[in-house]
Structure formats: structure tokens, C-alpha cells
Amino acid sequence: MNRFRLLGLAACVALSVPAAAIAQQDAAAPTEHTMVLPSVDQHVKMLSERLGLTADQQEKARPIIVKMQDALQKVMDDKSLTQEQTQAQMHAVFMNADKDLRAFLNDEQKTKLDAMEREHAQMHGQP
């Protein structure tokens, strides 16, 4: 289940990036695989739309997303890490954000987040 939560947050990151932004970044992107982080506003908006967040929940989610994105960027910028170390550290960042978000979600929203996570895992061929 933890892997599903990780993948769900990754989906939140990936799904909230507009196609035009990806196309722009692809043109100048290095040949190695890079993760595209949406703006905090885009991420909160996507979570709000998909989970039905209230205004209060959106305000609680915002600092969590900021903290998550800052930590992810730091990991991605650390070129001394192996691929496995990068994945492990990113997993830890996603899991912390997932835990923090779930603290104020209601049961229906948690179920929707679980479904998003499963959908993303299936989309990437994972159990």
C-alpha cells in the first residue's frame, strides 16, 4: 500500500503539469530522465479537483506541497546520489507528504486518493 501512496503522489506531480509546459521543457531538457514539478498552485488545484478539497484543506495542503517540492528538488539536484539512493529519498519525501495530507482528509477523500494511486500504478505497469 505504501508503494501505491508513493505512486499516487507522483501521479499528482505528473498529472498536474499542463502539456504545453512539458513540451516546452522537453525541447530544452537533457537526455536523461528528469521529473517535471508543477507549480504549487497547479498541484493544489489538481488535488482540490480530484479529491474535492475544501478551502481550509487547500490551505493545509499548500505548505505540505511546498515542503515536498523543495525536498524533491533537493534530491533531484544531488548528482552524488545513485539512482537507487535517489529513488529511496524520493520515496521517503512522497511518503511523508502522503502521511501529512491524509491527516486532514475525510474517508471519502482518502478513498479517492487511493484510487488515484492505484490508477497511476496500473498505468505504469505496477501491481
- For 57-88, write each residue's pLDDT tens digit: 999 999 999 999 999 999 999 999 999 999 89
Question: In terms of DSSP H, where are the helices of 31-82?
Answer: 40-51, 55-77
89 pLDDT more than 60: yes
- For 11-40, write each residue's pLDDT tens digit: 454 444 433 343 344 444 443 556 678 899
Residues 6+ apart with CB under 8 A from 14: 35, 36, 120
CA distance 96 to 48: 19
Taking residues 37-65, what's their average pLDDT?
A: 95
CA distance 107 to 122: 23
pLDDT grade, residue 6 (50/70/90)? Answer: very low
**In the prediction, which pLDDT does 36 show?**
77
Contact 37, 13 (CB under 8 A): yes
